[in-house]
Amino acid sequence: MNSSKRILIIEDDKNIARFVSLELEHEGYQTAVQDNGRKGLEEAMSKDYDLILLDLMLPELDGFEVARRLRREKDTHIIMMTARDSTMDRVAGLDIGADDYITKPFAIEELLARVRSLFRREDHIHTIEKSDNTSFRDLVIDKTNRTVHRGKKVIDLTRREYDLLLTLMQNVGDVVTREYLVSEVWGYEEGTETNVVDVYIRYLRNKIDVEGRESYIQTVRGMGYVMRDRK
């Protein structure tokens, strides 16, 4: 089942890289390893991977910079692996576009579970996308091509922004809680404390809203967000 999934491990600790690689291959994934940030970025940019396991403290280019440069060109999934466990580091990684963040030392079972969870979410979204396009006012999501239009204008969204907008538009008229969005879009357990949803709502508003007009996404204080037509 996993034979088509390709995972790039960018990790300068050769023992960790080899151990993770062997465990992933045992699960049926294909893996490749690079041991510094610059070579890892070149590998990620030149080939197609389904997931990158990215160490934060790397020689030549650190993980933050690798993720930042990669996000300019690709939407490849990223799970950051690091011994740094501060809230600021976690938020910085997620803001750059990482899908998840795991702290060393970690149990390999936890890493494998996060990888499986990420791919399940991707498969779920692809299943949803097989249905008809979704629209709200003059916003239209083309699920086949994963594109968003406002009228005739194409709105360029990252993978995470697209998934967040799709979730909101599939629940038009209903208040969607932050906890649900963290679980549905990021795959975290409900109750996880993070402001990542608010950060990405701001990103979305900056891209889809029209100056001088009411925002497509309304804030419901103490609860979450709603896309609701005004009567």
DSSP state for residue 189 in the 8-state scheme = P
Q: What is the DSSP string of 80-121?
A: EEES---HHHHHHHHHHT-SEEEESS--HHHHHHHHHHHHHH
Q: Can you give the pTM of this predicted structure?
A: 0.60
| pLDDT given for residue 187 in this prediction | 79
Length of the chain: 231
The span from the CA of 170 to the CA of 191, in Å, is: 22
What residue ranges of the chain have pLDDT lower than 70? 1-3, 123-132, 189-193, 230-231
The span from the CA of 55 to the CA of 75, in Å, is: 18
Q: Where are the beta strands (DSSP E) in the chain?
A: 6-10, 30-34, 51-55, 77-82, 100-103, 134-136, 139-142, 147-150, 153-155, 176-177, 218-220, 224-226
Residue type, 67: A
- The full set of domains in the chain, from first to last, is 6-120 (3.40.50.2300), 131-226 (1.10.10.10)
